[in-house]
A and B are shown apart, each in its own frame.
Chain A
Amino acid sequence: AQSVTQLDSQVPVFEEAPVELRCNYSSSVSVYLFWYVQYPNQGLQLLLKYLSGSTLVKGINGFEAEFNKSQTSFHLRKPSVHISDTAEYFCAVSFSGNTPLVFGKGTRLSVIA
């Protein structure tokens, strides 16, 4: 079955420290990969996406992610986090064709001053 797993439900990190939020998916077909961020009481904002090409993708707010086909992963990274990065982060995958987007359960990033 096609699924998306975000391994950590909560990640606390100190301000200016690096962070990695993990996302794995299970699929034998081509995928499109997305990371969205949701601040409290707001909608989802697209951080970055992988459709094809370079496996290292740069997004907004200093975030980047790397597509690893052999490990079926799309981990999100930031070298130095800010208090304002505190939010819920969702990994989402579109499995081949015009199929609905599948979301992971989300990771709550809490940046501590």
Chain B
Amino acid sequence: GAVVSQHPSRVICKSGTSVKIECRSLDFQATTMFWYRQFPKKSLMLMATSNEGSKATYEQGVEKDKFLINHASLTLSTLTVTSAHPEDSSFYICSSQGGTDTQYFGPGTRLTVL
């Protein structure tokens, strides 16, 4: 399967700061990337769909001004959690899709906001 990387794997930050998470498609061009949030022992919750060169499409209930998504190239999408608070602590996972129906997931980023 395709290779998707995500950086950083873990981040701890203070409340009020911003955190940027990168998602890279290493061996194929990803027209579309998705950002998910996963709580412990829960399913994957889609936050937004990121399309290269255009604005992201956010799911209902997800604040677009808090979770900024940029998909500047066919291999990179970034998620910035702005003014992070403890309730933003979670496992964030991206996935990439290019040319087929299949989504390939990154390894995830564990965010802890103190």
Determine if chain A interacts with chain B: no
Measured CB to CB, the residues of B under 8 A from A are none
Measured CB to CB, the residues of A under 8 A from B are none
